[in-house]
Every structure is written in C-alpha cells, then in structure tokens.
Structure 1
Amino acid sequence: MTAMTPGSNLPLNTVRVTVDVAAPVRLDVSGLLLAADGKVRSDADFIFFNQPAGPGVSYRSGGGTTPDSITVDTAALPPGIERIVITASPDAAGQSFQGIEPTATVRDAVGGSVIATFTPPQLGTETALVVVEVYQRGGVWKVRAVGQGYANGLAGIATDFGVSVEDEPAPAPVAAPAAPPVPPAPPAPPVHPVSPWLGGQTPAAPPAPAPAPAAQAPAPGAGKINLDKGRVNLQKNQTVSLVKGGRPLLSQVKMGLGWEPAFGGRDIDLDASVIAYGPQRNHIDSCYFGKLSILGGSVKHSGDNLTGEGAGDDEVIVVDLGRLPADTTGLVFTVNSFSGQKFSEVAKAYCRLIDAASGEELVRFDLTGAEPQTGVMMAKLIKQFSGEWEMTAIGEFVKSRTVRGMVKPAAQAL
C-alpha cells in the first residue's frame, strides 16, 4: 500500500478499482467520465447517488455507516473516455472541509486489497473536492492524487467539467377564487442555477454582462474569454482561458517580458523569472538567470539582459505546456531589480504570451502603474482540471530583489 501525496500517481495493475472516500462526517461522493477535452459528453457521464450507474463507472452509497464509493471498470469504459475524476462534498449544506479532511482508499475491486490511500492536506473553506482521478496515459491506466478544492460546492465542480446544472422551473401563481385568471409570472432573470441533485444550494447571482470586444478582456467580474477572437489585452486581475477553437493550448508558448528605463533615467538591470507550484501551492522550482532550465527542460529562460535597452522583449521564458509534469499546476512570472532600483524608475513594463510555433502574440498585459518597490508579480498561468490553462494579469508589487523572495507572495497570489 502507498500513501500518496498531491500530484503523485501510480499505475494500476487491475482493470477494476474502487475508491472509498471517508471522513468524520457523511460525504456525497461522485464520479465524472471525461473525454480528451476534459469535459463530460453529456449529463449521463455524471455518476452520483441519483444516477448510480454509467458505462464502466458505478456509485455505491455507504448509508452513512460506511464510506460512499466509486468503482471504475477500465475495460468497460466507452471509447474516448480518458479520465474519471472522483469528487466529494460534505452532506450537510454549506459545510466546509475545515477540520474534517477526507481520506480516499483505492483498492482492487475484485480482491479487495488496498492499492493506495490519500488524504488531501491543508483544507479550509473548500466545500467540494476533486479527490483523486483514474486516467489513461500511454495506454496504461493510473491513479493520481489530486486534492483540488472548490468553494462553491458540487455545482462548481459539475459546471467546470461541463455538466448542465439547471433548476426546476418555478410554478406559475395560482389564481384566486372567483377572480380572473392570474397570468403566469414572467420568467425570472437568468441565474447560475443549481440542480436539485446538488443539495438544493442557493443559486448564485445573475451572470455578469457579456465580454467586452474581441481585443479586450472582459471587465472584472464579467467572466473569462478565450483566444478565438484574436489577441487579448488584459488589465490587472483579468483572466483569459488559453483555449482556441474549442481546444486547450498545450503547445510551446513564450512569455516575453520587457521594460525601459524611465525618461532620462539610467540603464536598469531587471531579472525575469518564473516560479512553479504544485496543487497545494507548494514550491516546486524557479527558473531565472541563474537556472535557465527546469522541470526536465519544459521551462527555459533566455538569459539575463543587463540594461533593458533595445526594442522587443528583454527576457523570454519558454514553457512547453504539454510537457510540464502533472504535478505542476501553477506558474507565476515575476520581475525583480537585483541592483535595488525601484519600479518607479521603469517605464513601459509589460508581459506578453506568444505562440512559439507561429510567433503570434496571444495575450498582452501592460503594467500601467508603478510603486517604489524592487519586485513585481506580472502574471500567472493556472492549470484547470478540465486540462486547459488560464492566464491572469497580476501587477502586484513586492519588496524583493531576488526570485527567492518572491516565492511566498507568489504562492499567495495563486
């Protein structure tokens, strides 16, 4: 038996596995069958207490006395299904996982022998979790410890993986006796509805307005856009999904970072870096001028620019999204002034994401403000459990002259 840690994986030596998820409180456990795009094909691929069986996946209730479980028969899965994620949420409405960390036990469904266990660490306000996943890689079925939390319950997980979450329509008001019929009430404004099988959670607020024009990211709170309409210009705290034509971008990209000395100022030596993190915001490695290649060469740095002079990007970091290790789920791009010069002495600082194959600029973020600090977090790339990556502009200043001092604040920014 193996005690797994977040991001770790094991090959499965059996075609049928059962995953029990136990906690000090009763949990609702479910499984989702995902295709190559990281989405369910239809709502029939969501297996839970009200829909306990699907092709190759089944749900068993523990009745409150034993753990709920999901069984996966990899030999019976439909063609095109590459991943099954097992989720859990407390049965009590609104309860978080604070202090009630669950444990997943993976065992051979035929013989009953335990293959591995996993307890997600450092849980807090999460009300739902992707606990583990059973997935296929190179023709081999494996199990991976995940432990990704959601603050909006099973509804958040369901919608993230493409399940239609719809409310039942409200009944029309009943006419009073001996009075003319009361016309049906007009439809309620659209909400992010929650299906009755998700525990009757209160629907979220109405969706925000549609995204802004193609070349701009939507205003804060208006949701994310993708790359279908061409280059996206981000403002601080805005996010773009790195999806084009319905497919996640999983090829080589370049993050170009540039800056100029402020008008009349002296040459300025800034250092661009990228910090890699795991699912629990754990620091994996940092790529900078002193360490030009990390993560098996899937992240590479162009080298140090000592002056900031010249047109174009001053330093470039190349990331092969498709080759990143599975436990690398977050990248934060930073710029520091080792010499101690402040960003108030810098002009035209920016970062831009480029398709390495075509040279096309995909996303750009221009830093419009400046503070008398020696470090800045420019942007972050976050891997979603649907398989896609999202880029968010950060633009937060930090008192740090080196990438080492950026590790903790960058983790907090994830």
Structure 2
Amino acid sequence: MTPGSNLPLSAARVAVDVTAPVRLDVSGLLLAADGKVRSDDDFVFYNQPSAPGVTHSAAAGGGDTVTVDTAAVPEGIDKIVVTASLDTPGATFAGTEPTGTVRDADNGSVLASFTPPRLGTETALVLVEIYRRGGGWKVRAVGQGYADGLAGIATDFGVSVEEPAAPAAAPQAPAAPPAPAAGWGPPTGAPAPVAPPPAAAPAAPAPAPSAPAPAPGTGKINLDKGRVSLQKNQTVSLVKGGRPMLSSVRMGLGWEPAFRGKSIDLDASVIAYGPDRKKVDNCFFGKLMILGGAIQHSGDNLTGEGAGDDEAITVHLGGLPPEVTGLVFVVNSFSGQKFSEVAKAYCRLLDDRSGEELVRFDLTHAEPRTGVMMAKLVRQYSGEWEMTALGEFVDARTVRGMAKPAAQAL
C-alpha cells in the first residue's frame, strides 16, 4: 500500500502486525465520529491490552499486534487507528520506518502491507487505520507522524494527559521516553490510574520534566499564547483554546531587493496535494482561484515595492475538499535573479477575518537559487492543520518546477 490508499477488508477479524528495526511502543485507539476516544478506556496498549473489539498482544515473530474484531466493535466507533512511537529518547523514525502488515486473524493470510516512505523528525506515527465505510470495513495506509511523541497523539485523539510534578533535579534523561499518567512507556509495574477525559477540549501535551528539551527549530506549539515566530523546520498547530481553526487564513509573502538593487519579480504560489503526495492543483498569478474558491491569490506584484505583503494567498480551510491534505507555499524568481539578491523575505499567516497576525517566518539566510519553499500546511487525521516553516531552496523559476520538490517536502 502507498500513503492514503485504502482496501476493503475481506475478513471480519484482522490483525495488524507492527515491526521495525528498533523497539516500538504500539497502540490502538478507538475513535468516535468526532475523531476522539470516548474515554481513556478506548486506548489499547501493552498496559491496557483490551477494549471492545480491539486487543493488543506481542507478535509471534517480534513486534506488536493490534487485533480488530469488526463485529465486536461498538456502533459508536467509526475507526481504529494503529499508532507506533519510538522507545529511545531523542530518536526519530528517519531510517527506521516501521511496517504494518494486515492479516486475516483467523487463517493468517496477508491482506495488505504498508511501510511509510520518507519519514524524518517524527517520533510517533499513525501507521494504519481500520474504518467503517458503506456498511463494511476498510483499511487505509496513513503514515503521518508527530515530532512530540506520544503526547501529540494523546492530544489529537482526546486521551487525557496529566502533568507530573517537577522533580527536585533531573541531571540525566532516563532511558524511557516521557510518560503521561495513563502509563505509556515501558512497563515498570502496576499501571497508574487513568484520569477521566476532559469535558471539553483535551489538555495540551505535557512532557515529563526529565524529557530532553526540543532542539531549536523543532517541536510543535499552538496559538494559545498569541503570535508565533517560527524558526526553520519548526511547526505550529493551528489550534487556539483547544479548538482547531476552521475559518479563513491568509498567507502573506513579502520581499525587498538587497542593497537597494533593481526590482526583482518574485511570484508567490501555493500547491495543493492529496494524501499520496500527488498534486491536486496550484494557485499562482496565472490562476488566481482554485478548488471552487477555497484558495485565492491576490494578484501579481512585479517589483516587491511597497510596505507590507507583496502577494497574499487566502485559504478557506473549512472549504478545502477532503482530498486536499497538504499545501506548500512557494516563491520563485520569475526573472531569474537569485535569492541572494533578495532581502527581508518572509511569510506570515493571518486570520483573514480579523487581520491578526498568527505566525511569522523570516527567511534570514538566502541561497543563490531561484526558488524557495517557504512553508507548508498539513491536515492532520484529527482534522486540525499544522504549519511548518521550511525555508528550503531549489532551482526553479516557476510554480511548475516546484511541484516535485514541494511534494517531497510534505
């Protein structure tokens, strides 16, 4: 299977074996129609190995198995997601991509297999999901991850996370990853009591104090504290007050000629992709509106002159069709001048309704190339959107030349 692909299940009981070159913590979450667990009882892992219709066990050949008996899954559950996280602190999935093998749980025959391609800084991953569709059940390859480990999965899917008290001193990080109160991480004895889920939005993830601090330019934050200034490769979740932003946002892009040089014609564009990283459409100066008006371009600026944004692209997040799961915002030098001749290039994300600046990324170091991927917006399987600052340069003078490198950046 490839990312985003799906298959109908020919068996009522299926087993998902998850294996990798390193040790993983594997879990299954039973999600209702709102994409959340009903309570922490819908979270299945080694320390809580069963829920209605779903069980966790060690795989016969190594790894872990999440078994789903679709006939026993409660009516209120729409899907079961199978997740994996790394057991080693600081490690990422780059080079250690796990494989999910879906078998008929009764006769052992293989129904599907999936290994996510091109993983990088992810430390936790949604590997596959088993979901209802048209009176039957299907399996979908997902392969999307989180840079903040199990806490990111907990927050997205509504598993409650309690913040432990700070220790007097923590000179060294322990061998185990940060563990919320629900007992995630290597078993050390009897499971800790599980707190009931919050009545409204789930609490933000709170890593244990002994967890290593994220390196500059990495990690995930939200909009609760106001405007966010991103560094390269840093991600912000478009969530405020525990609720995803589903209104309109505007991406503003600006630049100036370096050292009072001649005017430079830069073009801002956005490329929309599906879950398989295939281009759906692109919006640029020659095509100012796409996807039924869900994405609109302000028009071409030939010089970069004037204060404020030189070009802007408005995205109605709630109006994007379901097949669009990723957007990459790019800037190209149509006239062929290099970005080393550009000063003060930046992108920023604004609430289109209020005009409030939410996120800003200043491109501080330019390269002598003609294209740059400024930022990406990626739809999570929980429904929220995340923005990541990219700042990656390529040799391309038009949006057409950006399609392939932008797909690889998702």
TM-score, normalised by the number of residues in structure 1:
0.70
Using the alignment, how far apart are the partners of 2:303 and 2:360 within structure 1? 22
- Offset of 1:379 from its aligned partner? 1.5
Amino acid at match of 1:44: D
SS at match of 1:102: strand
Deviations 1:21-44 (A, max 9, x none): 247889986421346775545432
Deviates most, 148-157 or 36-45: 148-157
1:244/1:91 CA distance change after superposition, 3 Å: closer
Using the alignment, how far apart are the partners of 1:241 and 1:124 within structure 2? 19
Question: Map of 1:259-278 to 2, 5 A cutoff?
Answer: 259-278=255-274
Q: Match of 1:339?
A: 335
Q: Match of 1:380?
A: 376
Match status 1:193 vs 2:198: no
2:117 to 108, 115, 122: 122
Question: Map of 1:135-150 to 2, 5 A cutoff?
Answer: 144-148=140-144
- Offset of 1:47 from its aligned partner? 1.7
Q: Match of 1:102?
A: 100
Using the alignment, how far apart are the partners of 2:255 and 2:145 within structure 1? 37
Contact 2:44 2:56 in 1 (8 A): no
1:77/1:89 CA distance change after superposition, 3 Å: farther
Using the alignment, how far apart are the partners of 1:225 and 1:137 within structure 2? 34
Amino acid at match of 1:208: A
1:155/1:257 CA distance change after superposition, 3 Å: closer
Question: Map of 1:283-362 to 2, 5 A cutoff?
Answer: 283-295=279-291, 297-362=293-358
Contact 1:20 1:104 in 2 (8 A): yes
Using the alignment, how far apart are the partners of 1:393 and 1:24 within structure 2? 32
SS at match of 2:405: helix
Contact 1:49 1:59 in 2 (8 A): no
1:20 to 15, 27, 34: 15
1:122/1:390 CA distance change after superposition, 3 Å: closer
Larger Rg: 1
Using the alignment, how far apart are the partners of 1:137 and 1:299 within structure 2? 29
1:247/1:405 CA distance change after superposition, 3 Å: same
Q: Match of 1:174?
A: none
Percent of residue pairs identical: 66
Q: Match of 1:71?
A: 69
- Offset of 1:60 from its aligned partner? 6.2
SS at match of 2:144: strand
SS at match of 2:261: coil
Contact 1:62 1:69 in 2 (8 A): no
Q: Match of 2:43?
A: 46
SS at match of 2:303: coil
Match status 1:206 vs 2:211: yes
Contact 1:127 1:150 in 2 (8 A): yes
Using the alignment, how far apart are the partners of 1:29 and 1:235 within structure 2? 31
- Offset of 1:351 from its aligned partner? 1.4
SS at match of 1:406: helix
Using the alignment, how far apart are the partners of 1:405 and 1:366 within structure 2? 23
The number of equivalent residue pairs is 377
Where in structure 2 are there 5+ consecutive unaligned residues? 189-207
Using the alignment, how far apart are the partners of 1:123 and 1:348 within structure 2? 31
Contact 1:148 1:279 in 2 (8 A): no
Using the alignment, how far apart are the partners of 2:155 and 2:213 within structure 1? 17
Where in structure 1 are there 5+ consecutive unaligned residues? 170-184, 210-218
1:90/1:64 CA distance change after superposition, 3 Å: farther
Deviates most, 260-269 or 345-354: 260-269
Question: Map of 1:218-233 to 2, 5 A cutoff?
Answer: 220=216, 223-233=219-229
Match status 1:410 vs 2:406: yes
Contact 1:90 1:127 in 2 (8 A): yes
Using the alignment, how far apart are the partners of 1:76 and 1:23 within structure 2? 24
Across the aligned residues of Structure 1 and Structure 2, the Cα RMSD in angstroms comes to: 4.8
